[in-house]
Amino acid sequence: MMKFFTISVLVILFSCSNQNAILLEPKGQVSQVEESAERVVTTLKETDFFKEPTSFVVSKNFKSDYPVDNSFSTNDSDVLQKAIDDISSQGGGKLYIPKGNYSFSEVSLKSNVHLRIDSKAVFRPAEIPDKRNKNYTMFKVVNEKSKTPVQNVSICGVNGKFTVDLRYTKTEFLNVRIIQSFNVTNFKYTNLIVRDKFSKFSVLTFNGIKIGNRVYGPNKGLIKNIELYGSDYGYGVVQLQLAKKLLFKNLYGEGGATLRIETHNKVLRELGTYDLVDEIYGRNIRSENGNCALMLSPHFIDQGKVDVRNIKSIGSGFAVRINKGFANPEEAALGLKAGSFSDESVVKNVSATYSKTKAQIKPKHYKYMPCNLRQFIQKDPITLFPHGDSYNGPSIAAVLYNPNYKVNITDKDVSIEGFQKGLEIVTDDDMKTDNECGL
C-alpha cells in the first residue's frame, strides 16, 4: 500500500449564491510543496469565474413572445434560435422559458444572451432525421467563424432545477450532448437535472475548435448544481478535454464518471497551439452506483493544475481515478509521449461507501479488486448501448492511483465505509490476476 503521492483536495458547501470558500490544506509534512501549501489560505469566489450582468437590454418570454405550443412532438429549435438571434441583434438580454414541454436540437447560443428556464420546464432532444445515428447536441456554445469567443452567456434554471429528459429518446438519437462548449468566456450553466438512459455522451462537454493555426477552448466559467440519473459507465455529467479557469460545484451523477478530466482529441495533437487545461476547480463532486466521482487522465499532454475537494462516492467502482498518461501508437508516431498533470494539483477530502452489487466496473479494473469479491461481478453487461463491456458488481476501492507523474495523497485524505481495510488507495502493486487469485 502506498504511503504518499502528490495531490491534495478542497471543500465548499452547497449554495446557489456567490460565496467564498476556505480551502483546507494538507495535514502533515509530506513534501516541501505541501509544507509551503499548508501555510497558504486560498479563497475562491464565484465572481472570479463568471460575472453576472447587472442589467438586460432586452427581456423576452419564449411562450408569450414566440409561437410555441408546449408539445414534445413539435421541434422548437428554429423558434428558439430566432429568439436568441433577435435578442443578440438588439445588444443582448434575457430569454425566459416558462414551464412546459419543449424539444430542441442544434441551437447555437450567442454572446450576451442569457437563458432563464423555469424549474417546471422539461426539454427533450428534437429528433432530426439527418441526425439519426450521428453525433449532435442540444445547445452549442461556439463561434465557429472567428477566434473571438462567445462571451457573457448563461443557461440557468430559476426557482429550482429544470429537466432534460432523454428517457423517451429513440436509441438512434442517443448520440446527444446537452451543452457543448468550445471558444466561450464568462459563462455559467446551473440548476439542471438530466434523466438519462445510457446515452452516448456526457451532459456537458468542453473542448477546443481550431481556427487558423490555433485551437480555442472555454475560459472562465461557473458550472454548478447539476444532477444526472441513469448514465452509461463511459460518460457522466462532465467530460473536459480543453478548458482554463472553470469552477465546478455541486455535481451529482448516478452512473458514469461525474467529473471526467480526460484530455485527448485529434485537434490537440499539435502541441503548443492551445492553452493547457489549467486552474480547474471542483467542490462537492458526488457519484452513486457509477464508475467514479472524479477521473484524471492526461493522455499525451502535460497539463496544468486541477484542484478538486469534497469528493464522495456511494456504491461506485471508485471515488477517484488518477490514471497514467499515455500516447497510443498513432500518437506516438507523431512524437507524442505520455502526459501529466501539474504537481500542484490537489485532490482531497475523499469518502467512499461500499456496495457489493451496484458499482459500474470494467474488466480492466478487476485486477485491483480483492479476490474474494470477484464472485459478485454480474455475468451480463449493464447495457449493450454503447459500452457492452461494463458490468454491475462490487465497489473496488476509494482511490485508484496509477499515474506516471507525481501527485501527493495519503490514506489520511481518504475515508471508507464498508470496504475492507487497505482499500483507501490501490496502486499497481495491489494487482492480482484471476490465476493469482485461484479463480
Which is nearest to 10 in space by CA: 41, 49, 51?
Answer: 41
Q: Is the pLDDT of residue 401 over 50?
A: yes
Helices (H), 132-273: none
Q: Is the pLDDT of residue 281 over 80?
A: yes
**Which pLDDT band holds residue 29 (cuts at 50, 70, 90)?**
very low
**Percent helix, strand and coil across the chain, each rounded to 5?**
15, 40, 50
CA 233 to chain centre: 13
pLDDT tens digit sequence for 16-26? 343 333 222 33
- Dihedral sign of CA atoms 35, 36, 40, 43 in order: negative
Query: In whole angstroms, how far apart are CA 436 and each of 111, 354, 396?
Result: 58, 24, 17
Q: Determine if the peptide bond prior to 386 is cis (ω within 30°).
A: yes
Query: In whole angstroms, how far apart are CA 2 and each of 110, 170, 207, 427?
Result: 49, 47, 34, 7
DSSP 6: B
- Dihedral sign of CA atoms 137, 143, 149, 155 in order: negative
Q: Is the pLDDT of residue 45 over 80?
A: yes
**Which pLDDT band holds residue 162 (cuts at 50, 70, 90)?**
very high
Q: Is the pLDDT of residue 387 over 70?
A: no
Q: Spell out the residues 6+ positions from residue 78 whose beta carbon is closer than 8 angstroms to its own.
A: none
Q: Find residue 351's DSSP bridge partners.
A: 312, 415
Q: Spell out the residues 6+ positions from residue 131 whose beta carbon is closer than 8 angstroms to its own.
A: 105, 106, 173, 175
DSSP 353-389: E--SS-EEE-GGGGGGS-GGGGGGS-SS-S-SSS-TT
Helices (H), 60-122: 62-65, 77-89
Q: For the chain, what is the largest distance between any 2 Cα atoms, rounded to a whole number of angstroms?
A: 71
Residue 238: CB atoms within 10 Å: 29
**Which pLDDT band holds residue 210 (cuts at 50, 70, 90)?**
very high
pLDDT at 385: 62
Which is nearest to 361 in space by CA: 286, 261, 257?
Answer: 257
Which is nearest to 290 in space by CA: 406, 387, 146, 166?
Answer: 387
Q: Is the pLDDT of residue 261 over 70?
A: yes
Query: In whole angstroms, how far apart are CA 34 and each of 5, 10, 24, 42, 123?
Result: 11, 14, 12, 14, 46
309-329 average pLDDT score: 97
Average pLDDT over all residues of the chain? 90
pLDDT at 74: 97
56-71 average pLDDT score: 96
275-300 average pLDDT score: 97
Q: Is the pLDDT of residue 11 over 80?
A: no
What would the grid cell of residue 89 be? 441583434
CA end-to-end distance (rounded Å), the chain: 23
**Amino acid (one-letter) located at 182:** F
Question: Cα–Cα distance between 413 and 66 in angstroms, integer?
Answer: 53
Q: Spell out the residues 6+ positions from residue 226 whose beta carbon is closer than 8 angstroms to its own.
A: 189, 190, 191, 192, 193, 194, 203, 204, 237, 250, 251, 252
Q: Find residue 204's DSSP bridge partners.
A: 179, 238
pLDDT at 113: 98
Residue pair 352/416 in contact by the 8 Å Cβ criterion: yes
